[in-house]
């Protein structure tokens, strides 16, 4: 089934000028970019986006990292897109990530892990709506 997922290129990857490389890999994986923008999160927006992690030991570090610079948010579309983009990213724990995945190649730490991708259909819908209105998604 055709799915949509939310991708974030995080501040460390934007700073290292990796936007182009990451977009290229997304296209090579045959995931279609149907929306894309660059923005800077406010503290409130970052806390809201990661609300499910509130109270965890890494929460403040995560929020401070996510507001440390501009990010790129994208909606990716394709067959089985949620799982396929997660495979392209590799696991959160970069010590477990295989070479060739975005995180193995570009993460600096567990927090500064270069990219985010939705983990389920429910979170994809919620996360896409967090950043985009329907008219910004070019299907
Ligand atoms: P992401 O896929 O954006 O979802 C939650 C984020 O929290 C994750 O990527 C990491 O950036 C961060 N994160 C998750 N687990 C840890 C952890 N154990 N220590 C530090 N940061 C974490």
Q: In this structure, which residue's CA is closest to atom 21 in ligand 1?
A: 111
Is 116 known to be catalytic?
A: yes
pTM summary value: 0.97
Number of neighbours of residue 57 by Cβ within 10 angstroms: 8
Rounded distance, CA 75 to CA 68, Å? 22
Q: Is the shortest distance between the CB of 113 and ligand 1 below 6 Å?
A: yes
Rounded-to-5 percentages of helix, strand, coil across the chain:
45, 20, 35
Q: What is the pLDDT of residue 5?
A: 98
Average pLDDT, the chain: 97
66-105 per-position pLDDT tens digit: 999 999 999 999 999 999 999 999 998 878 878 999 999 9
Rg of the Cα atoms in the chain: 14
pLDDT in tens, 43-76: 999 999 999 999 999 999 999 999 999 999 999 9
The pLDDT score that the predictor gives to residue 97 is 78
Instruction: Tell whether ipTM is more than 0.90.
Output: yes
The residue from 6, 116, 117, 128 that is catalytic is: 116
> What pLDDT was estimated at residue 98?
87
Predicted pLDDT at 46? 98
Question: Given this model, what pLDDT does residue 95 score?
Answer: 80
**Residue 21, class by beta-carbon neighbours within 10 Å (0-12 exposed, 13-18 middle, 19+ buried)?**
middle
Sign of the CA dihedral running 41, 24, 36, 58 = negative
Residue that wins the pLDDT comparison between 133 and 97: 133
Contacts of 108 (CB under 8 A, 6+ apart): 12, 114
> What is the phi/psi pair of residue 35, to 5°?
-165, 145
Domains and CATH numbers, the chain: 2-132 (3.30.70.141)
pLDDT tens digits, one per residue of 14-38:
999 999 999 999 999 999 999 999 9
């Amino acid at each position: 089934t055709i799915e949509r997922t939310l991708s974030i290129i995080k501040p460390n990857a934007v700073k290292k000028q990796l936007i182009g490389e990451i977009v290229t890999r997304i296209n090579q994986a045959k995931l279609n970019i149907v929306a894309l923008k660059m923005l800077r999160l406010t503290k409130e927006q970052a806390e809201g986006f990661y609300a499910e992690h509130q109270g965890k030991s890494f929460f403040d570090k995560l929020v401070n990292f996510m507001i440390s610079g501009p990010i790129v948010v994208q909606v990716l579309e394709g067959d089985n897109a949620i799982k396929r983009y997660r495979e392209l990213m590799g696991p959160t724990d970069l010590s477990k990530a295989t070479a060739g995945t975005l995180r193995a190649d570009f993460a600096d730490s567990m927090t500064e892990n270069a990219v985010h991708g939705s983990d389920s259909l429910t979170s994809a819908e919620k996360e896409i709506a967090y950043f985009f209105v329907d008219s910004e998604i070019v299907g």
